[in-house]
Amino acid sequence: MPAASTPVAPKHTASNASVPTPKIIFFDIDDTLSRGGIIAEHNKATLQALAKTDIKLVISTGRSKAILPEDIIALLDSEVLDAIICMNGQYSYDHQGIISDYPLTEAHIEDMQRLCQSSNVTYKFDSATHLAWVNDNELIREYNNKNIYSIIDPEHHHNNAVYQCSVFFNHSDEQMQDIDFAAYGLKLVHWHYIGADILPIEASKARGILDVCAYYGVDAKDCMAFGDGMNDLEMFDLVGFAVAMGDAKEALKARADLVTGTIEEHGIQAVIEQLAVHVPA
pLDDT at 4: 34
Question: In this structure, are 35 and 73 located in the same domain?
Answer: yes
Question: In this structure, are 262 and 127 located in the same domain?
Answer: no
Residue of 176, 175, 197, 178 lying closest to 104 (CA atoms): 197
Do the strands 97-101 and 122-127 form a parallel or antiparallel pair, or are they unpaired?
unpaired
For residue 200, the one-letter residue type is: P
- Percent residues over pLDDT 90 in the chain: 85
**Domain annotation covers residue 16:** no
Question: In this structure, are 125 and 190 located in the same domain?
Answer: yes
**Domain annotation covers residue 218:** yes
**Residue 126 burial class via C-beta count within 10 angstroms: exposed 0-12, middle 13-18, buried 19 and up:** buried
**Residue 227 burial class via C-beta count within 10 angstroms: exposed 0-12, middle 13-18, buried 19 and up:** buried
Question: In this structure, are 194 and 226 located in the same domain?
Answer: no
pLDDT at 9 over 90: no
pLDDT at 188 over 70: yes
Query: pTM of the predicted model, to two decimals?
Result: 0.91
Question: In this structure, are 166 and 220 located in the same domain?
Answer: no
pLDDT at 171: 66
Residue of 168, 132, 167, 138 lying closest to 152 (CA atoms): 132
Q: Which of 81-85, 191-195, 203-207 has the lowest mean pLDDT?
A: 191-195
Higher pLDDT, 12 or 33: 33
**Domain annotation covers residue 10:** no
**Domain annotation covers residue 278:** no
Q: What is the average per-residue pLDDT within 232-260? A: 97
**Domain annotation covers residue 13:** no
- Per-residue pLDDT tens for 57-75? 999 999 999 999 999 999 9
Question: In this structure, are 42 and 181 located in the same domain?
Answer: no
Cα distances (angstroms) measured from residue 41 to each of 37, 268, 279: 12, 12, 17
**Domain annotation covers residue 5:** no
- Per-residue pLDDT tens for 86-136? 999 999 999 999 999 999 999 999 999 999 999 999 999 999 999 999 999
Question: In this structure, are 153 and 191 located in the same domain?
Answer: yes
Q: The CATH number of the domain where 139 resides is what?
A: 3.30.1240.10
The total of other beta-carbon atoms located within 10 Å of residue 133's CB is: 23
